Structure 1
Amino acid sequence: MKTFIVDAFTADPFCGNPAGVCFIDDAFEPGKFLPIARELGFSETAFLQATDSPDTWLIRFFSPVMEIPLCGHATIAAAAVLFEEAGLPALSFVNTDGLRIPIRRLGNEIGMDFPVYKTVSAHVPESLLEALGLETVRSVRFNAETKILMLEIEKTEVLGKLQPDYSALRASHNSINGVLVTAASNEDLYDYHCRYFWPWSGTNEDPATGGIQTFLAPFWAKKLGKRELRSFQSSWRTGTMALSVQEDSVLIRSNARIVLAGETRI
């Protein structure tokens, strides 16, 4: 099985968010998705299957814990592989929910059209804040599609220094997939910073996350009164992306770097 390792949301190797990309066919046994994802050990692995149309591919995402309906960094990673392998100028992925994700080359970048999701006001348990090392938050929102709790805080300096107690964090909530912490940027290059912690459904911290932009980018677009945004994910590997927010879609633009190509023998 052809297998690639791709660093997503970065132009540099060993930065951004690494993802596995595997090519499967009709003979692939469904019971092997999770073992392969665990073996690769990344926050997500994308599994690609060809269709009758050369520019349309089925895609499934697996963390080492569970299947994920939509994943940004594994999507851009898979697109980078297909653009290099097949030389396509544009393509579409279709996920398990039947969502079509249009992808296209934009100069040296890759552009992905993701849906816009809404958030609602929510409550955050005190124990969750303690596990994160936060004393106060500016606002708390929840997105139902991803089951992610979003916390807005005051300063990016606090965000960058967070060192969660992951055991306590996981025990603090039993009905979410992850918690996103974000703050307005105090530098001209970016509009907002973020970090995403998800010990409930994946790894402890996701280095660079595209799926959260389905609701995070619209949140900041409304708050800042602008549709063109730049996001910085302040994990230890870091990640950057440009975003264009429309009424029903978010265009995510960034890079991806293939760092390994090989074969998985199963």
Structure 2
Amino acid sequence: MASPRQIKLFTVDAFANRAFEGNPAAVCPLNFDTDLDDDTLQKVAMEMNLSETAYIRPLNATDDHRTGNRFGLRWFTTTEEVKLCGHATLASAAVLFYEIGNTSDKITFETLSGELVVRRDGDHLLMDFPIGLTQHRIAADYDGVIKALGVLPGVQDVTWCPSLSYLLVRLNDGWTRADFEQWQPDIGQLERSVTGVIVLIVTTRGGRQQGFADQAGRDYDFVSRCFAPWSGIAEDPVTGSAQTVLGYYWGQQLAKEEFYTRQCSQRGGEIEIRVEGDRVHLRGKATLVLKGVLHI
């Protein structure tokens, strides 16, 4: 029997400063000459059974994970490869910086969405992503989606991000944070209600009296929840790529460039956002929860 290949594996909770919060991602640092076809990469992601599994690979044979500053990066859900994933990018940089001991101040990832840069920023990591431009849509055209969301305080706006195929639904103000966190859409109906959507973002605002602040009393500019049943993910805990869309949308609504926000899933996570032209900077923490070896 042939000996199995052994590949390092890490699981990281992204946008979290302690374990079991934020969004977990599996990270596999591959050597330049590691020969794994796409079918195997997809099967590993299925085995991990997380929203995303990330694969980091040096771009040439003379680089390694410790000294290189440019890497290829790919992301797979349990069912398919995706074009952009924020939390698995943060997790990948955390593995390189904190576990492998990469000596660079910043790392550039070459991805299906172009170059993504992650920098050290104190005890945080700062990601540089392309902005998610949105276009207004008529709410009535998405009546099936809105019905699948169930009882709501009303829909104020619907927009579409063509570069990511993300749909954003803004709810009317009026819910408390507890209302927003406890609300559950009909995921099966949602999946059947529309085609061509990768992620549905539902967002709203509220004041401190309605609970829209962190434990230290810092106000959230807005909050969100994200659903992706079309990619095999009922609800994504913290979605970095969605923040590029939310940063653009709320920048237009509030005439601001900097935001502090929370994705209000069961695990939850907090993100700092800064919009600079056609780029969005996302700032967050990451926590290692597992490291081991895959035998393939």
- Interval of TM-score (by shorter of Structure 1 and Structure 2): over 0.9
Partner of 2:144: 127
Deviation at 1:222, TM superposition (A): 2.2
Partner of 1:29: 37
Residues 134 and 248 of structure 2 are in contact (CA less than 8 Å); yes or no, is this contact kept in structure 1? no
Q: Distance in 2 between matches of 1:121 and 1:134?
A: 23
User: CA deviation digits over 1:5-47, x for unaligned, max 9?
Assistant: 0000010100000000012243122211111111101111111
Query: Gaps spanning 5+ residues in structure 2: where?
Result: 1-6, 209-217
Could you tell me which of 51, 76, 89 is aligned with 2:59? 51
Partner of 1:178: 199
Residues 159 and 182 of structure 1 are in contact (CA less than 8 Å); yes or no, is this contact kept in structure 2? no
1:145 aligns to 2:145 (yes or no): no
Q: Distance in 2 between matches of 1:225 and 1:192?
A: 13
Q: Distance in 1 between matches of 2:101 and 2:72?
A: 15
Equivalent position SS for 1:15: coil
Partner of 2:89: 75
Q: Distance in 1 between matches of 2:243 and 2:287?
A: 21
Could you tell me which of 138, 161, 168 is aligned with 2:182? 161
User: Paired residues, what number?
Assistant: 265
Deviation at 1:177, TM superposition (A): 1.1
AA partner of residue 250 (structure 2): W
User: CA deviation digits over 1:58-116, x for unaligned, max 9?
Assistant: 0000011111111000000000000011333211111134x111111000000000111
User: CA deviation digits over 1:210-230, x for unaligned, max 9?
Assistant: 001222112112212221111
Q: Distance in 2 between matches of 1:164 and 1:33?
A: 31
Q: Distance in 1 between matches of 2:48 and 2:27?
A: 10
Deviation at 1:202, TM superposition (A): 3.2
Deviation at 1:117, TM superposition (A): 2.2
User: CA deviation digits over 1:164-221, x for unaligned, max 9?
Assistant: 1111111101121121100123234211100000100131000001001222112112
Equivalent position SS for 1:102: strand
Q: TM-score, normalised by structure 2?
A: 0.86
Q: Distance in 2 between matches of 1:33 and 1:16?
A: 24
Q: Distance in 2 between matches of 1:64 and 1:79?
A: 21
Indicate the structure (1 or 2) with the bigger Cα radius of gyration: 2
Partner of 1:10: 16
Partner of 2:279: 249
Partner of 1:104: 119
Q: Aligned residues: percent identity?
A: 34
Comparing 148-157 with 99-108, which one deviates more in the overlay?
A: 148-157
AA partner of residue 116 (structure 1): I
Residues 116 and 129 of structure 2 are in contact (CA less than 8 Å); yes or no, is this contact kept in structure 1? yes
Equivalent position SS for 2:240: coil
From the superposition, tell whether residues 110 and 161 of structure 1 become closer, same or farther in structure 2 (CA, over 3 Å).
same
AA partner of residue 53 (structure 2): T
Residues 130 and 279 of structure 2 are in contact (CA less than 8 Å); yes or no, is this contact kept in structure 1? yes
Q: Distance in 1 between matches of 2:151 and 2:227?
A: 14
Q: Distance in 2 between matches of 1:218 and 1:29?
A: 36
Partner of 2:108: 92
Residues 6 and 260 of structure 1 are in contact (CA less than 8 Å); yes or no, is this contact kept in structure 2? yes
Residues 75 and 82 of structure 2 are in contact (CA less than 8 Å); yes or no, is this contact kept in structure 1? yes
Deviation at 1:128, TM superposition (A): 1.5
AA partner of residue 181 (structure 2): G
Equivalent position SS for 1:32: helix
Q: Distance in 2 between matches of 1:228 and 1:175?
A: 30
Could you tell me which of 164, 171, 191 is aligned with 2:221? 191
From the superposition, tell whether residues 173 and 67 of structure 1 become closer, same or farther in structure 2 (CA, over 3 Å).
same
Query: Gaps spanning 5+ residues in structure 1: where?
Result: none
Q: Distance in 1 between matches of 2:293 and 2:170?
A: 42
Q: Distance in 2 between matches of 1:78 and 1:127?
A: 37
AA partner of residue 80 (structure 2): M
